[in-house]
Amino acid sequence: MAHQSDVLVIGGGVIGLCCAYFLAQRGYRVTVLEKARLGSGCSYGNAGLIVPSHSVPLAAPGVLGKGLRWLLNPESPLYLKPRLDGQLWAWLWRFCRACTARHRQRAMPLLRDLHLASLRLYSELAALEGMDFGLAQRGLLTVCRTPQGFAAAREEAHLLQGIGLEAHPLSAAEVQQHEPRVAFRTVGGVFYPQDAHLDPARFVQALARHLAARGVALQEATEVFGFDTVGSRLTRVKTTRGDFAAEEVVLAGGAWSPQLARLLDLRLLMQPGKGYSLTVRRPPAAPRTPLMLAEARVAVTPMDNVLRFAGTLELAGFDFSLSRRRLAAICRAVPAYMPALVVERLALVEIWRGWRPCTPDGLPYLGRTRRYANLTIATGHAMLGVSLGPITGLLVAQLLSGEAPAVDLTLLRVERFA
């Protein structure tokens, strides 16, 4: 006998749990299938930033020139481990093709709307009982060390102002004024007041408790390894804890989604983009506002009594190693901007790495597939999964319940690279 529910959500990260929340809100009986522990994937140790300021997609003009210089340097913010892998080369090909002004122009208003909608939903979630996850809207301060970096940051700010977002270029003195407790070595920066941040692990845990209290079945240590289909319908999901059946299945398996899709003969073009974070006990000279160290691409997020440094994007497949070289690159970057913050001298709480689910064009996959009538895919959020979690959950719930989606989903079509 299969366990029965209305909707099965595969993946217990920020995306899967947000889907479960909005589906349960509409009265569906939901079961979440998670192979490890809830929130133990990429949703655990990330920088926790909610970022309308990141409405320029990763695939954008100019990225190729910079990216190619970085790609083969293991200490750069973006590193590609060269290997013979057809999927990787197909991904790179599509990435290069997406680095156009046209793609950027079409993607930016959509990303803006998704981030801002998510931010509103986060405020609603934070108002629910027991949902304390450190949500704070103190903006994001991008800090630049070089004139070239500052020029690029101002150019990006200008693009974002063009779609109605708030972005304030600041001189070096103004950056210093903004964060008087921190001694900066900077030529200037940009302040994005609409951005916010949270503690991602606390969010996932609080949401999981909320869902469990409302009858959502949360199945941990339950790995999906197959599907039964009849015609165009998924009839059973086969797991290490037995079979599960439901009217609808949502695939939200993060960076592992392509492997799951392959079991259904579906091709999801995606690469795991490994990133690292180092969390330390919060020193007295920590910034109050989250920072983005522009040239180094390192995020610095204050969370309660800790401070987190997060960065690097490594296209190395599922390589589980901890690269000391790449951790050292993050550690070196921080005092280059804030000389008093020497990471190695701070009290370490945790080193973490996770795999971002990266699509070639920097936009998630969200929608139904042509092949299966009762399968919805919600993945590929790359470096924006926390920021876009709640709106993704809402859109999935709207799709399944036949409501008009809050935004036009054309650019997010699941089979756009098929």
Ligand X SMILES: Cc1cc2nc3c(=O)[nH]c(=O)nc-3n(C[C@H](O)[C@H](O)[C@H](O)COP(=O)(O)OP(=O)(O)OC[C@H]3O[C@@H](n4cnc5c(N)ncnc54)[C@H](O)[C@@H]3O)c2cc1C
Query: Is residue 250 near ligand X by the rule CB under 6 A?
Result: no
Question: Of residues 143, 160, 211, 252, which one binds ligand X by CB under 6 A?
Answer: 252
Binder to ligand X among 57, 379, 390, 414 (CB under 6 A)? 379
Q: How far is CA 217 from CA 1, 32, 303, in A?
A: 17, 6, 30
Under the binding rule (CB under 6 A), the answer on residue 356 touching ligand X is yes
Range 110-129, binding ligand X (CB under 6 A): none
Contact between 163 and 109 (Cβ < 8 Å): yes
Q: x/- string (CB under 6 A) for ligand X, residues 384-413?
A: xxxx--------------------------
Each residue 8-47 as x (binds ligand X by CB under 6 A) or -, in order, gives: --xxxxxxx----------------xxxx---xxxx--xx
Residue 91 CB neighbour total at 10 angstroms = 19
Which among 62-70, 94-102, 144-152, 255-263 is the span making contact with ligand X, rule CB under 6 A? 255-263
Q: Does 381 bind ligand X (CB under 6 A)?
A: yes
Query: Smallest gap, in angstroms, from Cβ of residue 42 to ligand X?
Result: 4
Question: Of the ranges 95-103, 164-172, 252-260, 400-408, which one interacts with ligand X (CB under 6 A)?
Answer: 252-260
Q: What is the 3 state secondary structure string of the chain?
A: CCEEEEEEEECCCHHHHHHHHHHHHCCCCEEEECCCCCCCCCCCCCCCEECHHHCCCCCCCCHHHHHHHHHCCCCCCEEECCCCCHHHHHHHHHHHHHCCHHHHHHHHHHHHHHHHHHHHHHHHHHCCCCCCCCCECCCEEEEECCHHHHHHHHHHHHHHHHCCCCCEEEEHHHHHHHCCCCCCCCCEEEEECCCEECCHHHHHHHHHHHHHHCCCEEECCCCEEEEEEECCEEEEEEECCEEEEEEEEEECCHHHHHHHHHCCCCCCCCEEEEEEEEEEECCCCCCCCCEEECCCCEEEEEECCEEEEEEEEEECCCCCCCCHHHHHHHHHHHHHHCCCCCHHHCCEEEEEEEEEEECCCCCCEEEECCCCCCEEEEECCHHHHHHHHHHHHHHHHHHHCCCCCCCCCHHHCCCCCC
**Cβ at position 279, least distance to ligand X in Å:** 11
Site for ligand X in 152-181 (CB under 6 A): none
188 forms part of the interface with ligand X (CB under 6 A): no
Six token digits for residue 42:
């990429």
The least distance separating ligand X from the CB of residue 149, rounded to whole angstroms, comes to: 20
Number of residues in contact with ligand X under rule CB under 6 A: 43
Give yes or no for residue 343 binding ligand X (CB under 6 A).
no
107 binds ligand X (CB under 6 A): no
Which CB atom, from 111 or from 187, has the smaller least distance to ligand X? Answer: 111
Q: Find, among 175, 183, 96, 110, the residue nearest to 143 by Cα.
A: 175
CB of 142 to ligand X, least distance (A): 13
**β-pairing verdict for 242-251 and 196-197:** unpaired
The pair phi, psi for residue 286, each rounded to 5°, is -80, 145
Q: Is 48 in the site for ligand X (CB under 6 A)?
A: yes
At closest approach, how far in Å is the CB of 152 from ligand X?
20
Q: Which is nearer to ligand X, 187 or 352 (CB)?
A: 352
Interacting stretch for ligand X, rule CB under 6 A, among 98-106, 205-213, 281-289, 351-359?
Answer: 351-359
Q: Which stretch in 141-149, 177-185, 273-281, 316-324 sits in contact with ligand X by CB under 6 A?
A: 273-281
State in angstroms the smallest separation of the CB of 115 from ligand X.
9
Please identify which residue in 160, 224, 278, 292 interacts with ligand X, judged by CB under 6 A. 224
Cβ at position 277, least distance to ligand X in Å: 5
Task: Work out whether 49 is an interface residue with ligand X (CB under 6 A).
Answer: yes
Query: From the CB of 388, what's the least distance to ligand X, in Å?
Result: 7
For residue 25, the Cα-to-chain-centroid distance in whole angstroms is: 23
Q: How far is the CB of 225 from ligand X (least distance, A)?
A: 7
Binding site for ligand X (CB under 6 A): 10-16, 33-36, 40-43, 46-49, 223-224, 252-256, 260, 275-277, 299, 310, 354, 356-357, 379, 381-387
